[in-house]
Structure 1
Amino acid sequence: MDVMSSSLQQQRVVVEQLRREAAIDRQTISESCAKMMKYITEHEQEDYLLTGFTSQKVNPFREKSSCTVL
C-alpha cells in the first residue's frame, strides 16, 4: 500500500508540473525573433563586440601590463 501511495503522490506532482507548463504564455518563433532583432538593433551601439572600446583603459580584457624592475 505504501508503494501505491508513493506512486500516486509522484503522479500528482507530475500532473501539477504539466499544468504549470501548460499555463505558460507561448509565443511564435516569428514573434520572438522579431523582438530579439528589435532589441539587438536598439542596443547595438552599446555592444563592445561590435563597436570596440573607446580606449584600452576601458577594456577589461586588455593584457595587464607587468611591472618589471631591471
Structure 2
Amino acid sequence: MDMVISNLQQQRAVTEQLRREAAIKRMLVSQAVADIVKFINEHEQDDCLLHGFTSQRINPFREKSSCTLI
C-alpha cells in the first residue's frame, strides 16, 4: 500500500511540475533570434575575439610560459 501512495505522490509532483512549465510565458523563436542579433551587433566593438586584444597581458587565451628544470 505504501508503494501505491508513494507512486501517487510522485505522479502528483510530476503533474504539478508540468502545470508550472505549461504556465511559463514563451516567446517566438524569431523574436529571440532578433534579440540575440541585436545584442551581438550592439556589443561587437567590445568583443576581443573579433578584434583581438590590445595587449597580450590581458589575453586569457595566450600560451602560458612554462618553466623547465634540467
Instruction: Please classify the TM superposition score into its range, dividing by the shorter chain length.
Output: 0.7 to 0.9
TM-score (norm 1): 0.83
More helix per residue: 1 or 2? 2
Alignment: residue pair count: 68
Moved over 6 A (4+): none
TM-score (norm 2): 0.83
Task: State the match for 2:27 in structure 1.
Answer: 27
Gap change, CA 1:3 and 1:64, over 3 Å in 2: closer
Q: Deviations over 1:16-64 (max 9, x none)?
A: 1101101111011100000000011111111111111012122122233
Task: State the match for 2:44 in structure 1.
Answer: 44
Which ranges in structure 1 are unaligned for 5 or more consecutive residues? none
Identity %: 66
Cα RMSD over matched residues? 1.7
